[in-house]
A and B are shown apart, each in its own frame.
Chain A
Amino acid sequence: MGLQFYVQNALGGLAYGSLLFLIASGLTLIFGLMRIINLAQTAFYLLGAYVGLTLVAHGTNFWLASVAGGAVTMVLGLAVYSAFLHRYHADHLTSLLLTLGFALILDDGVLAVWGGDPRSIAPPPGLAGSIHIGTLVFPEYWLAVIAISFTIAAVLFFALQRTMLGVMIRASVDDEEMARGLGVDVNRAFFVVFAAGAFIAGLGGLLGGPITSAYPGLDGEITPLAFAVVIVGGMGSLTGALVGSLLIGLVNAFGKAMFPELSYFTIFVPVALIMAFRPQGLFGRKL
């Protein structure tokens, strides 16, 4: 195993981890704030991918189509939230079953509308090539995905740490009742966070398409990884989601390359260890 092996897998792992962050950031904030375990978060990603690839097939610009995928997903997510989910904050079992139901409906909906054949998605023109440095090869699109995800992470961190809305959200994660007692309309914060989570996951769908491609059932494959990220990073922590995503992405890439027959094992051993010795996750608050 030469240098190329490590570079290739490191970069692939970081790119995949970046995509996981787009899903897990919403997952962890939605859980931290509303105590809703949103099993439909990866279905949002899948829906975004299909909406995006359809628009691209009709000649829409790749980036515009990604944003449109995010927007469609956000509208659908908010409809589900407003009509059903908002009643079940902190009701883990009900919200879990509800979001699982919506994940299945979305999955079957995708199958009905787009069929069951996997769709490969080409990177946007201009990013389809590779950068060669000596004997090392870096696919441009992977680098682009990493850059985009880090930019989105930076925007999220800024919003959470430097704006009044962020202060309201962090306060509500700490102590929702007290935040209400100080005049915070916590329901509005919930709405904004759910919208942002759905939008970013949907946006990630087409962005990740050239790496994950799109097919019914993809969401079910990503869900365990996204939850591993949230557990490793700590529920409700954006920093945890970022670090956890990159860690899980790297472990996933190297695990699959080195022990392909044990790929789930290599991911869930660290998860099990974290749960045993640091149940709040790397950046979570004490349980």
Chain B
Amino acid sequence: MSEALIDALNPALFWEYRLVLLRGLAFNAYVFFAAATVALVVGLAAALLRVNRAWPFRMLGTLHVEVFRNAPDYIMVIWVHFVLPLLLGKLIGQRIEFSPFVSAVIALGFVYSGYFAETFRAGIQSIPQGHLDAGRACGMGETAILWRIVLPQVVRRMLPEAVNQFVSLFKATTIVSLIAVPDLMYQVSMVTQQEMRPLPLYTGAAVTYFVVIYVVAGSVRGLSERWRNKIYA
């Protein structure tokens, strides 16, 4: 290897800025956890609409899934940050602005709620009718059946797929730098502008993301498999 190449790949510069970059990574985590919460709550609500007996509810749920599953993350982030406040502002006749963080969480949360809704729905529909009958025969109410019998099984069944979606969501958090959420990518861009050394900085960022996702997703998968094996042995 030429000395120029070794010099170019030297991670010392990346290491020098580690605290700034770590703060950026923390922002990825904040956006991830907030958006994941939105996606799970809204996704569950949409899934419950999708399996409702009344067709208007089912339609509403389907509409939600189709709209958000087919919206590109990038477009949604831009639209929620720049267009939605304008629309809402016109509606109530007042100037509104979302902080970049809030926009990022809403946009990613809703996009992924479309995916999670489908995962939840498939999970709910895979629970045998007999499990519900058994609950009803014991005099359990529908709410108790949902929370005690259906959802705990749905969570176990959907875990492998949900882990994949969480990984996608975490990767998607890297585009929030577009609307100036100070995440890792944003910080790397800032430092690059100062140092003019894109190679070690962006490579360092790529390796960091890879390692974080690989380690976290791998351990979550392992844990969830051990947990599932207990009941599906």
- On whether the two chains bind one another, the answer is no
Which B residues contact A (CB, under 8 angstroms)?
Answer: none
